[in-house]
Structure 1
Amino acid sequence: MAKEIERKFLVSGQRWRSAANEGIAIRQAYIVAQDDRSLRVRLYGDGRARITLKVGHAALVRDEYEFDIDRDEAEDMLRHAVGKVIEKVRYKVPHEGHVWEVDVYDGAHRGLVIAEVELSSIHDEPELPNWVGREVTGESRYSNQSMALGISNGASLRQLA
C-alpha cells in the first residue's frame, strides 16, 4: 500500500526560482470528491496523464494509488469533473536532500503559490528553505480538492499568501 506523507507551505517571494527546474503545466480535475477520499485525473504538459485515488482523513499521511492512463481517456474524464479544473505549473526545487514541489496556480487561484515536500516518514524534519512561509499542512482550504470544489475562495487564499 502506497502512503503519501507530505507537508505543505505558502511560498514567500521568488527566491525559489533560481534553483527550480523549467516546470510542467498541469490540469487536474476531481471525478469523485468526498471527505475521506478522492479520485482525480491529471494531464501534464508533456503529454502524460495519470489517475490518482487518495484515501484517508489525516492531514499528514494518506493512502495513495497512482496509475498512468491514456491521454484521450483523461481528456474525456475532464468532462465529468466535480467542480472546476485546476490549472497550475509545478516546479521541482531541490533543497538540503529533499525535492520540493512548488505549484504556481492560474485561473481562479492565480497568484497563489504553494510548496509541498514529500517525506519518507512522519518523523522526517526537512530543512525549510528561506522562501517558505507559513505551514498550511492540514488546512483544507489549501487542498486542490477544496479549490476545485469552490470551498476556498481564490482571492482570500491569495491574500493569506
Structure 2
Amino acid sequence: MAIEIERKFLVTRDVYKNEAIQKSRIIQGFLNTHPNRTVRVRIKNDRGFLTVKGLSSQNGLSRFEWEKEISKQEAESLLKLCEPFIIDKIRYEVQVGNHIFEIDEFLSENQGLVVAEIELKHESEVFEKPYWLGEEVTGIEKYYNSCLSRTPFKHW
C-alpha cells in the first residue's frame, strides 16, 4: 500500500515510440468507478493485476493505491464482471533523465488519445520534460482511466 504521486500530460508527437525501452499491451476494466474507491482489473501482457485506488487529492497529484498480482485467468474472469467499455491500450515506457514516462496510446473507443504519466517521489519533485510532452492534464477527471471507461474519448 502506498500513496501514488503522478502527473499526467497529453502527448503532441509519436516520436516517443522510437525512444521506448519497453512496450506492453494492456486490457483493463473497472469493477467499481466510484471516485472515492476505484477497483481495476488489468491484464498487462501475460500478467493479471487487481488494483484499488482511493480519492485523489485536491490538486489531483496523489492518491492511495494498492495493487496485487493475480493470475491472467483470474483477471480474464474478473474482466467479464466489469462495467461497460473495457480499456485497450499500448503502453510505451520512455526513460527521460532519472524518470520513466509511461505513455498510453489508447485504442478502440478511446483511439486518438495519447497520455503520458510520470510517477514522482514527492509533489514538488523536478523532472525533465521531453519535447513531445504537451498540455498538463493532472487532476482533470475526464482523463482518468476510470472516466474513460464510462465516457470514452470518441464520445467527447
Sort the TM-score into its range (normalised by shorter chain).
over 0.9
The total of aligned residue pairs comes to 154
Specify the alignment match of 1:7 in structure 2: 7
Alignment of 1:1-161 (within 5 A): 1-45=1-45, 47-58=46-57, 59-150=60-151, 152-154=152-154, 156=156
Per the TM alignment, residue 137 of structure 1 is displaced from its structure 2 partner at its CA by 0.3
TM-score normalised to structure 2 length: 0.94
Name the amino acid aligned to 1:99.
I
- Kept in 1, the 8 Å contact 2:5–2:63? The answer is yes
Name the amino acid aligned to 2:97.
E
Give the whole-Å Cα distance in 2 for the aligned partners of 1:104 and 1:92: 11
Per the TM alignment, residue 32 of structure 1 is displaced from its structure 2 partner at its CA by 1.1
Per the TM alignment, residue 155 of structure 1 is displaced from its structure 2 partner at its CA by 5.2
CA offsets, 1:58-108, max 9 Å, x none?
Answer: 211001000000211110111111121000000100001100000000001
Name the amino acid aligned to 2:67.
E
- Kept in 2, the 8 Å contact 1:104–1:112? The answer is yes
Structure 2 residue matching 1:23: 3-state secondary structure: strand
Give the whole-Å Cα distance in 2 for the aligned partners of 1:119 and 1:40: 21
Could you list the runs of 4 or more consecutive aligned residues of structure 1 that deviate by over 6 angstroms after TM superposition? none
CA offsets, 1:114-153, max 9 Å, x none?
Answer: 0000001011021111000000001111110001012x54
Give the whole-Å Cα distance in 2 for the aligned partners of 1:51 and 1:9: 25
Q: Larger % of strand: which? A: 2
Give the whole-Å Cα distance in 2 for the aligned partners of 1:30 and 1:79: 10
Q: Percent same amino acid among aligned pairs? A: 35
Per the TM alignment, residue 154 of structure 1 is displaced from its structure 2 partner at its CA by 2.4
Give the whole-Å Cα distance in 2 for the aligned partners of 1:155 and 1:48: 30
Give the whole-Å Cα distance in 1 for the aligned partners of 2:18 and 2:80: 37
TM-score normalised to structure 1 length: 0.91
Give the whole-Å Cα distance in 2 for the aligned partners of 1:129 and 1:70: 35
